[in-house]
């Protein structure tokens, strides 16, 4: 599923960022951020990775927010 639209808005607003500030940080057009947040389109995988980097969160934190922070390595 990847980075959800509501999550992008929540993360952005938690930092007090405008859509324009996020667009500049990601190197995308303002319309791209608006489209993601309004469910008109979805960020590509490369953009999703960049979003996670910008906000300093992991896939696990986005996909399983209630999960404990420590992850068990695969056997």
Question: What is the pLDDT, as a whole number, of residue 71?
Answer: 45
Question: What is the pLDDT, as a whole number, of residue 29?
Answer: 97
Average pLDDT of the chain?
A: 82
Q: Which structure tokens are listed for 74? A: 């695969």
Quick one: 2 exposed, middle or buried, by C-beta within 10 A (0-12, 13-18, 19+)?
middle
Which residue segments constitute the domains of the chain, with CATH numbers given? Answer: 5-63 (1.10.260.40)
Q: Which structure tokens are listed for 53? A: 């980097």
Banded model confidence at residue 20, pLDDT cuts 50, 70, 90: very high
**Pairwise pLDDT comparison (18 vs 8), residue with the higher score:** 18
In this predicted structure, the answer to whether residue 15 has a pLDDT above a threshold of 50 is yes
pTM: 0.75
């Amino acid at each position: 599923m990847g980075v959800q639209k509501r999550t992008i808005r929540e993360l952005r607003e938690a930092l007090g960022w405008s859509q324009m500030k996020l667009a500049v940080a990601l190197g995308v057009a303002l319309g791209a951020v608006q489209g993601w947040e309004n469910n008109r389109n979805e960020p590509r995988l490369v953009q999703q990775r960049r979003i996670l980097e910008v906000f300093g969160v992991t896939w696990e934190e986005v996909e399983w927010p209630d999960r404990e922070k420590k992850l068990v390595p695969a056997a």
